Chains A and B, each alone.
Chain A
């Protein structure tokens, strides 16, 4: 029997972008993309792709479909999940998707999911490294009425059920739910695999399906924000680091410890 997994993935600014290259247009309340640093697929979303591919390896006839929404996709970047081994990709690419709040993103993604037909699992990264809202997957589960399993580090598929280990600070909790279900994963679910040469070749022959918001049954009025960005700024730090300098490195280490005691930090 066919097993269908939908993975939600987001194109984000590379979080490794050095702070010096990070700039904000305060008037437009927008982050200015760093010159020469291409975007990446959100880290946790790559973990989600990895989790889906592990299931695909263990269950015959599994299809992994990756979906996303945005204004301008860099295809070489967005096709990475396909190179890793995902089967299909559907993107809503539309100017109306500029500066969406998470609620509008949820509206679009749930409409896209509705178009895809039957599925068994939706797997998402637990949060995105740009706006860090960490609630798009939760919203999808609520709108679609799905069981919601969060911060998952291990997934096991049973007969019509899914069992997961959810990370907790002192261990993990095991949850079981019927399928279809929505799962958010963290980095402990497994390192995203590197695309193989064969994978890259296969992905190069695949064309993501590109849709507009009208194609999924929405118009720009449906994307009215429920929360509005009113200010965006780079925080200034007036922190001064006191550098301890001794006769040599070992001496500096000793001075550092003494200084911390003097300041009653230790």
Chain B
């Protein structure tokens, strides 16, 4: 039976959250195209992760254990996937738009001379043609594009994180686990990991924050960001910024949200003095709730926000923060 293969990333020996999302997308494609869903679990001690992949929707799991794979480096993962693809000839390979997946997916496609689409929000499969069509934002989210793969397999799809909801875990599901004997040696690892450096940032990191307070040019300078930090702390959230703010040096570029910065998907994104230029929205439009405070009622941000205030942030924000503090402490 033809297969849709997903790369189930591991984090500290357990499945990364993206694996469930990929399995859900794989399941959808599999149902549409009459294909099984298989998961590649690459690392050491993969038994628990393999079982979890089956519970979340995999029909088959391919495990490969090798010390090199444990490091989770792109070079090693690609080499292993290349061998699994040679054995199983999957119709498609799905990876997540994580630092690893967004590098592994495209490189695998070029190595296997097939095709790839990055940052996909949706996928559909045609049972007759065996071709997949993906939907993805282009031009900083100003337009949406659908792309259809030409003849070569595997069709590689890199799926945006959180674009699919994982399936309800079903402990009754059955699937088979096959250990693949991959041959990997050091010479295939061209980029060697020397060191992983964690940077102690105060509070939560931007990409993981459930609540983000974003500041824009409308704030007028770096000082007001203290007030944004204060609000973010109430939610145990993080502070982000627009490109204009970072270019002006009011905040470090690591704060930047948008096309040339970070992509964030918080539950609540509260913007203060952000006009909502499309290149900014490209990095935050998948936020669950966008809340806007801006003095210009015609600003684009109000087209994207669900609730907002048109007014002077210097007056709006302190009372907003004070009320939030009361509400959260009561």
- Establish whether residues B302 and A257, one from each chain, have CB atoms under 8 Å apart when the complex forms: no
- Establish whether residues B115 and A226, one from each chain, have CB atoms under 8 Å apart when the complex forms: yes
Contact of A248 among B306, B315, B317 (CB under 8 A): B315
- Establish whether residues B304 and A133, one from each chain, have CB atoms under 8 Å apart when the complex forms: no
User: Given contacts A169-B206, A230-B147, A243-B309, is CB(A256)–CB(B194) below 8 Å?
Assistant: no
- Establish whether residues A130 and B139, one from each chain, have CB atoms under 8 Å apart when the complex forms: yes
Number of A interface residues, CB 8 Å? 88
A176 to B73, CA, bound (A): 12
B208 at the interface (CB under 8 A from A): yes
A242 to B318, CA, bound (A): 20
- Establish whether residues A22 and B143, one from each chain, have CB atoms under 8 Å apart when the complex forms: yes
Contact residues in A for B196 (Cβ distance below 8 Å)? 168, 171, 173-174
- Establish whether residues A260 and B143, one from each chain, have CB atoms under 8 Å apart when the complex forms: no
Contact residues in A for B192 (Cβ distance below 8 Å)? 175-177
Cβ contacts A148-175/B at 8 Å (1 or 0 each): 1111000000000001011111111111
B147, closest chain A residue (CB): A227
A266 to B325, CA, bound (A): 11
Contact of B315 among A245, A253, A258 (CB under 8 A): A253
Query: Interface-forming stretch among B35-43, B164-172, B252-260?
Result: B252-260
- Establish whether residues A139 and B278, one from each chain, have CB atoms under 8 Å apart when the complex forms: no
Cβ contacts B194-230/A at 8 Å (1 or 0 each): 1111110100011110000000000000000000000
How large, as a class, is the contact surface on chain B? 35 or more
B106 at the interface (CB under 8 A from A): yes
A245 to B316, CA, bound (A): 11
- Establish whether residues A130 and B309, one from each chain, have CB atoms under 8 Å apart when the complex forms: no
Shortest beta-carbon distance from B286 to chain A in Å: 12
- Establish whether residues A239 and B115, one from each chain, have CB atoms under 8 Å apart when the complex forms: no
B247 at the interface (CB under 8 A from A): yes
Contact of A22 among B119, B142, B254, B297 (CB under 8 A): B142
Cβ contacts A7-23/B at 8 Å (1 or 0 each): 00000010111110010
A122 to B317, CA, bound (A): 47
- Establish whether residues B139 and A31, one from each chain, have CB atoms under 8 Å apart when the complex forms: yes
- Establish whether residues A250 and B259, one from each chain, have CB atoms under 8 Å apart when the complex forms: no
A138 at the interface (CB under 8 A from B): yes
A228 at the interface (CB under 8 A from B): yes
A165, closest chain B residue (CB): B197
Top 5 A-B pairs ranked by shortest CB distance? A135-B106, A253-B320, A257-B323, A147-B190, A249-B315
24 of the cross-chain contacts (CB-CB < 8 Å) are A15-B279, A22-B142, A22-B278, A43-B259, A129-B260, A131-B145, A138-B106, A141-B107, A169-B206, A171-B198, A174-B193, A174-B196, A229-B147, A237-B303, A240-B306, A241-B292, A244-B307, A249-B309, A257-B324, A258-B323, A260-B307, A265-B268, A265-B291, A266-B327
* Given A22-B143, A135-B110, A139-B107, 19 other A-B residues pairs in contact with their CB atoms under 8 A: A19-B142, A106-B110, A132-B137, A132-B140, A135-B118, A138-B107, A148-B190, A169-B206, A169-B208, A188-B253, A226-B114, A226-B149, A227-B116, A232-B144, A239-B304, A241-B302, A251-B319, A253-B318, A260-B307
Q: Which residues of B contact A (CB under 8 A)?
A: 74-75, 99, 102-103, 106-107, 109-111, 114-119, 133, 136-150, 152, 190-199, 201, 205-208, 235, 246-247, 253-254, 256, 259-261, 267-268, 277-279, 289, 291-293, 297, 300, 302-312, 315-324, 327-328
